[in-house]
Amino acid sequence: MKLVLAIVTLLVFVNSPSSAQCEGDLSWNFDEDEKAGFSIGGFLSDTFTPQLIIDSKKIRDYVRDARFRELTLRCGDHRAIDGIFLKSLRIADYNVSRGLFLSLMATLEHQNVDFKLPVVGGIHVPLTFEQDSLFNARKKNIPSKVYPDSPSTEEGDKDKLQHFFASAYLAYVSESPELARQGGNFVEWGEAKFVVGGTDDPRDRRANKHGEAFGRDLLVVKTLLPSDYLQPPSDKE
């Protein structure tokens, strides 16, 4: 009897909506605003705002939404990361390069960067142009368990996703993983030398390398997902 109950419970779980959400369209029920009624304010805003800014706002709204947080809790960080990429592709009308760029915009976890430059001195550079409250809400929802060895803290490896998607984007648009690698290495060098509090982090380089491979392989196979590349270090290094 216990065995029968266990089997029934397993079947219910496998066929439950939450399980389907983990295996199917990870951007479910996030498009209500896209189907909203016409408004003069919205029309004027969309008319005079560059499409890339509109699309960046949409993907950041997706990550900020409480339902994305629920997706992460139900399905795990890797599936949530896949969700970001799939939603970005959907917003970008399945243009892969644009989808990768939007994924980068969704996962930027630095609001500002402070540079220390010779002669010029300190420079404060904004990155996301979000309101503080919106940035903090989105950052809180960025998946943190990117790798099996990610720190067990609230921050975890949130910052690795911007490295991953930036490298994937460069590798895809340039069709050159080597160019993406050199770009990533230059960023790491510059971060250690010129960014206040920055370091040349080998874990950043690892995320860069995995992103390069993802972007390169997307040139051939369009159905790949980030989770295919965010594997244990021994598998992908």
C-beta of residue 139 within 8 angstroms of C-beta of residue 109: yes
Task: Quote the DSSP letter at residue 195.
Answer: B
Q: Note the pLDDT tens digit of each residue in 77-127.
A: 999 999 999 999 999 999 999 999 999 999 998 776 555 555 555 555 566
pLDDT attached to residue 85: 96
Q: How far is CA 80 from CA 111, 127, 140, 191, 226, in A?
A: 22, 23, 13, 28, 10
Task: Quote the DSSP letter at residue 34.
Answer: G
Q: Note the pLDDT tens digit of each residue in 205-223.
A: 899 999 999 999 999 999 9
How far is it, in rounded angstroms, from Cα 201 to Cα 205? 7
The residue extents of the domains of the chain are 50-236
pLDDT attached to residue 231: 78
197: left (phi over 0), alpha (psi -120 to 50) or beta: left
3-state helix, strand, coil in the chain (%, to 5): 65, 5, 30
How far is it, in rounded angstroms, from Cα 164 to Cα 84? 13
Q: Note the pLDDT tens digit of each residue in 26-37.
A: 655 565 555 555
How far is it, in rounded angstroms, from Cα 195 to Cα 199? 8
pLDDT attached to residue 18: 45
How far is it, in rounded angstroms, from Cα 76 to Cα 205? 24
Confidence of residue 7 (pLDDT cuts 50, 70, 90): very low
Q: Note the pLDDT tens digit of each residue in 13-24.
A: 333 344 445 765
C-beta of residue 211 within 8 angstroms of C-beta of residue 180: yes
Residue 149 has pLDDT above 60, yes or no: yes
C-beta of residue 63 within 8 angstroms of C-beta of residue 106: yes
Neighbour-count burial of 217, counting CB atoms closer than 10 A to its CB (0-12 exposed, 13-18 middle, 19+ buried): middle
**pLDDT > 70 in the chain, percent:** 61
Task: Output the average pLDDT for the chain.
Answer: 76
Beta-carbon neighbour count of residue 108 at 10 Å?
Answer: 22
pLDDT attached to residue 4: 37
C-beta of residue 156 within 8 angstroms of C-beta of residue 145: yes
Q: Which of 20-29, 44-53, 129-138, 213-222 has the lowest mean pLDDT?
A: 20-29
